[in-house]
Amino acid sequence: MKSTTKFLFALAIVPLSLAGTTHYGGTARAGSGGAFVGGMIAGHVVGGFVRRDRARTNAAVHQAYSQPATVVVREAAPAPSAKKSVEQRLSELDDLAQRGIITKDEYKARRQAILDSL
């Protein structure tokens, strides 16, 4: 049962239990102690709900703070290198063509563009 449901159930039981006391001693009168006993029962029930709620809250807080913090470490991006040499660019272009990433026409056009930049 949820705490709210238990609390409402307890609030319904206390008046019913006090109403049942009239069967044992006749009518309830001021000063008979029925209100005092009912107040004690209600206070105990409500106090129990409050204590359990605080204990759950404290447990949740403790668990949240006892977990190790997640630290994300990222590697630094490599520094951009100086302009690649013509040999490096042609070598990369040959590698792309051998792996089939670029077509023969693209290879020829890019190779000519590299050679024209000389």
pLDDT tens digits, one per residue of 74-106: 777 766 666 788 889 999 999 999 999 999 999
Highest-scoring range by mean pLDDT, 8-17, 34-43, 83-92, 104-113: 104-113
Res. 69: pLDDT tops 80: no
φ, ψ for residue 109, nearest 5 deg: -65, -45
Res. 72: pLDDT tops 90: no
Output the pLDDT for position 61: 80
Output the pLDDT for position 83: 75
Mean pLDDT of the chain: 75
State mean pLDDT over 55-59. 86
Helix (H) / strand (E) containing 5: helix 3-20
Res. 33: pLDDT tops 80: no
* 16-28: burial string, b at 16+ Cβ within 10 Å, e else: eebeeeeeeeeee
φ, ψ for residue 49, nearest 5 deg: -65, -40
Res. 73: pLDDT tops 70: yes
Output the pLDDT for position 38: 72
